[in-house]
Amino acid sequence: MNWSNVILILQREIRDQLRDRRTLFMIFVLPILLYPFMGMTFFQLAQFIKEHPTKVLVIGRSQLPDDPVLIDGDEFAKDWFALPDDARLLELEFNDALASNPKLAREAARKGIEDDDYQAALYFPPDFNQELAEFRARVTRNRNGDVPKEVPGPEVFHNSAKKKSQIAQGRIDRVLRHWREGLVRENLNAAGVPQAAARPFELVEQDIADY
């Protein structure tokens, strides 16, 4: 192989490419303009999806206990959000007519999501309030350390193939977890157990980053 010929050919190809303004534009100018624009577009789209309200079908609102309050008016109680204004990100629509029929309730929940009428659905089973009251009574009466039978919990329907449905499910999950913690505190109070018993220690984080 004659390296001098290779170098000559390479130099000629480079000169030809540099003479082509279209190639120069595609290599040097377009990435500088395009990539920041694409990044900003994706970021703004993600922020829009994150902050845009999602519609949720709630079936069985009548089965909820009065204390602690989960739904206040036509939205989730602000107590269960890190920021009170986040409650507006979940638009609730209620249907109590199907609450007593689990099969029809689940079918309506799935159909509403499949038809894009809602991004998620929340179903409270029949006698949910009564089951919670009986659970609390068993906890209060329990002196032998026996674990009471669990209460059938609410069901959250969503479509993991759709981004907005995933977001709605995540929001509902956080609300229900915080509300469940509120129920735990109420049960501890009813049983005369200090609330600190549910949290025997606090996690301490140590950031050793050197800025």
| Mean pLDDT (the chain, rounded) | 81
Q: What are the strands, taking DSSP E only, across 28-138?
A: 54-59, 71-72, 75-76, 90-95, 120-123
* Residue in 63, 163, 72 with CA at minimum distance from that of residue 122: 63
Give the helix/strand (H/E) hosting 158: strand 155-158
> Highest-confidence range of 4-13, 17-26, 127-136, by mean pLDDT?
127-136
Q: Among the residues of 52-162, which ranges form H helices?
A: 102-114, 128-141
The mean pLDDT value for 163-188 works out to: 90
Which of 103-107, 160-164, 168-172, 200-204 has the lowest average pLDDT? Answer: 200-204
- How sure is the predictor about 158, in pLDDT bands with cuts at 50, 70 and 90? very high
